[in-house]
Structure 1
Amino acid sequence: MTGGFFGWRVVGAAFGLAVFAWGIGFYGPGVWLHALTTGRGWSVAIVSAAITLHFLASAAIVARLPALHARFGPVVVTRAGIVAAAAGAAGWACAPTPWLLLPPALLTAAGWAFTSGAAINALIAPWFDRRRPAALAMAYNGASVGGILVIPLWAALIGWLGFATAALTIGLAGIAVLWPVAGRYFRPDPARLGLHPDGAAAPPAPRPVARPAGPLWSQPAFRSLSLAFALGLVAQMGLLSQLFSLLAPELGAQGAGWALSLATACAVLGRTAVGWLLPPGADRRRAAVLNFLVQAAGSLVLLAAGGSAPFLLLACVLFGLGIGNLLSLPPLIAQAEWPPEELAAVVALITAVNQAFYAFAPALFGLLRDLAGDWTVGAAALALQFAAALILRTRT
């Protein structure tokens, strides 16, 4: 933490919330798919459909997040999300038939909506203005840590205790830790503590941000921002869903696992570098375009690797460097382009659009691979990343 400014403690609490949120709401379903299909012999298609429902329902819920925060407060909504995620995970584990995955999928959808990207941005935004890129980078790094720590934890606990007990253990531990954390760190706001954003001695000067005309969907800036990152996240989710099986023939199962860990570590590095090094007046869209192009370079290397282990690892590094910034850059761009009073609604709707798109990415990339071969994974990701970069710069 930096000095005694309470905002950095909020960042630390948000980091912990992100570990839990991504450990259940983002990475968890992939582990559950394996547990339910191999352990119970359930259909991959049906379990995958429940995962798609999880993300689509969350997209619908997260669009209402600013209204829920305004009505009930961030502490109540965050605690509800923690409990919903824990109860939903237990429901996935205890469902007696595949069709009874639908109710727990809706619970985990609510938990994911109330505790993930838009929620964390809403918790951090009141505390930071000039230093918001660094604060968001630190908080969102909890998402990557959730992948590094919670996926192996899920696997170990399921193997040791069984799926149901593992889900109850992780869910109850999350509630026990994060329930008091939410009350302690997410209830105060700077005004109540007599503080200003960034710990400054005076409030920040008003930013010269013009109020865009009309509803968000009618604004070219919003359309380009939401569509660009939606396409980028389709590329990212689709590629990541296939990457282990693409790497395993050349690197082995253990080597493929280490390669994915390398990509995750690069995600932390890339997000932290952008968060701390992005100048206050920099064109944040340009930074995002560069991020898409770095990932496109990784997709191109993957496409041309031809089974070469060094090139496969290079592809993981290049692609990984951009992974984290697809989460942290949209709220930073929105901060620069919309008035503060509209920011929460803009970020929530961007998040909803992103989730509605990337919910179908694993199925789309799997279908392309089945129809035309492994090369389509890198080619599709490359095309989507170039399209995202072009759309973001045109603002149309």
Structure 2
Amino acid sequence: MVTQAREGTFYGWRVVGGAFVLAVFGLGFGFYGPPVFLQAIREAKGWPLAVVSTAVTVHFLIGSIVTANLPILYRRFGIPTVTKTGALALAIGVFAWATAITPWQLFAATLLSGAGWVTMGVAAVNAIVSPWFVRDRPAALAMAYNGANVGGIIFSPLWATAIGLLGFPIAVAAISLIMILVMWALADLVFSRSPEQMGLAPDGAVAGEPPRSRLVTGRGPLPGSLLWRDPKFLTLSAGMALGLFAQIGMTAHLFSLLSPALGATQAGLAMGLVTVMAIAGRTLLGWAMPARADRRLMACASYEVQATGSISFIVAAGTNIPLLLCGVVLFGLGFGNGTFLPPLIAQTEFVGEDVQRVVALIVAISQAAYSFAPAIFGLIREFTPAAGGSAPSAAASFYVVAALIQGLAIFAFLAGRR
């Protein structure tokens, strides 16, 4: 086993590949699936939009509660068991979405789906990959997190097509079976090993050798409530939550805002461009980031790029196509970094035994916050014209609010610097 680090591919990169696939399914089911499920349920049941939309919000809120407790679950049951249990819960929950007869059954289904998908989400990917990397963690996490975007590319059209051809219950059953088989195989064959078991240290060093790199924070552990009083934790949580609130709110409405100028087909391609730019931006930053870079400044720069995109949308006034596309590119470049950079900031600012807990909590807080983003941004669009504007002014207000929230995220990250 030891020679593997010297003569072959470091096993940690296989873990990254497994985490990539995990994120494809986890986000494909739990994040990109609910918007498609919402429409399918409305068409099949005729339930009010408010009821089904609230169920989606509950799905995310339940997920945030489980995310906050993932470190405890991992310590008690291990990553393989939690992953397999989560995959089963997600599959059963989504199937219950498809077969719900009454609204209360739909809400009961969200308890399972919400709890299940986060065991294959952002915090889970960080917990799986981080033990294998210190120096190369930015590149490793960038590759693994790209699975989340690929999940959107694959599953958004897959769900729509499969439901249209097979019906909601059969489509869910078929795709869920594949997901369960893949997750169980990864859990048993890839995630069941640790660097200690293989005689390896992070980044492929041999156990017992001096580490190739070490990030020193100069701070001690923050057990219990001490963490909640720590300025770095509070500002990191606020920065991530604000940034993702703006991102999710914009993403939920961007297609409909672009459609009048670009047309439905081109607007769909523009949304795909957001995903492509997210992968490109995250990958480039992951591989090019200097080991000693100030990662909070990196996060600020990323949100400055997105805020510039929001300004481009404002100046476009809903009609200038080159400026709209410029806004799409700039928004997309920073999109992938909203979940990518905060765990890396935590790596440099907290001692090793606290990092997993910090990451789980900041992800949970952010998920709880962005659960309400689509509804709040929708209210901005709905009520701005009533205040004396037109449709373009409503879009301008939408983007102004997004830019302001992105500015607040920058302020939060800056506030936590030494």
The two structures share one fold, judged by TM-score above 0.5: yes
- Deviation by residue 1:222-253 (Cα, 9 ceiling, x = unmatched): 00000011011110010001101001111111
User: Which residue of 369, 372, 376 maps to 1:357?
Assistant: 369
RMSD in angstroms over aligned alpha carbons? 1.3
User: Which residues of 2 match residues 356-375 of structure 1 at below 5 A?
Assistant: 356-372=368-384, 373-375=394-396
User: Which residue of 311, 314, 326 maps to 2:323?
Assistant: 311
Assess if the C-alpha contact under 8 Å between 1:196 and 1:203 holds in 2. Answer: no
User: Which residue of 82, 85, 95 maps to 1:80?
Assistant: 85
User: Which residues of 2 match residues 55-94 of structure 1 at below 5 A?
Assistant: 55-94=60-99
- Please say if 1:321 is aligned against 2:329: no
Runs of 4+ in 1 over 6 A off after TM superposition: none
Distance 2:75 2:149 in 1: 29
Assess if the C-alpha contact under 8 Å between 1:113 and 1:119 holds in 2. Answer: yes
Assess if the C-alpha contact under 8 Å between 1:300 and 1:379 holds in 2. Answer: yes
Q: TM-score, normalised by structure 2?
A: 0.92
- Please say if 1:331 is aligned against 2:343: yes
- Please say if 1:275 is aligned against 2:286: yes
Assess if the C-alpha contact under 8 Å between 1:33 and 1:47 holds in 2. Answer: yes
Q: Secondary structure of the residue that 1:374 maps to in structure 2?
A: helix
User: Which residues of 2 match residues 95-114 of structure 1 at below 5 A?
Assistant: 95-114=100-119
User: Which residues of 2 match residues 2-151 of structure 1 at below 5 A?
Assistant: 3-151=8-156
Match in the other structure for 2:412: 391
Match in the other structure for 1:191: 196
Amino acid at match of 1:338: F
Higher Rg: 2
Identity in percent: 49
Distance 1:314 1:93 in 2: 39
Q: Secondary structure of the residue that 1:233 maps to in structure 2?
A: helix
Distance 1:99 1:250 in 2: 40
Q: Secondary structure of the residue that 1:207 maps to in structure 2?
A: coil
- Please say if 1:208 is aligned against 2:216: yes
Q: TM-score, normalised by structure 1?
A: 0.97
**Structure 1 alignment gaps of length 5 or more:** none
Assess if the C-alpha contact under 8 Å between 1:369 and 1:375 holds in 2. Answer: no
Assess if the C-alpha contact under 8 Å between 2:83 and 2:183 holds in 1. Answer: no
Q: Secondary structure of the residue that 2:263 maps to in structure 1?
A: helix
Assess if the C-alpha contact under 8 Å between 2:306 and 2:334 holds in 1. Answer: yes
Cα–Cα, structure 1 residues 191 and 95, in superposed 2: closer, same or farther, change >3 Å?
same
- Deviation by residue 1:283-336 (Cα, 9 ceiling, x = unmatched): 000000000100101111111112112211111110011111111111100000
Q: How many pairs were matched up? A: 395
Q: Using the TM superposition, give the Cα deviation of residue 350 of structure 1 relative to its aligned residue in structure 2, in angstroms.
A: 0.4
Distance 1:311 1:161 in 2: 40
Q: Secondary structure of the residue that 1:195 maps to in structure 2?
A: coil
Distance 1:143 1:94 in 2: 27
User: Which residue of 394, 397, 409 maps to 1:376?
Assistant: 397
Q: Using the TM superposition, give the Cα deviation of residue 374 of structure 1 relative to its aligned residue in structure 2, in angstroms.
A: 2.2
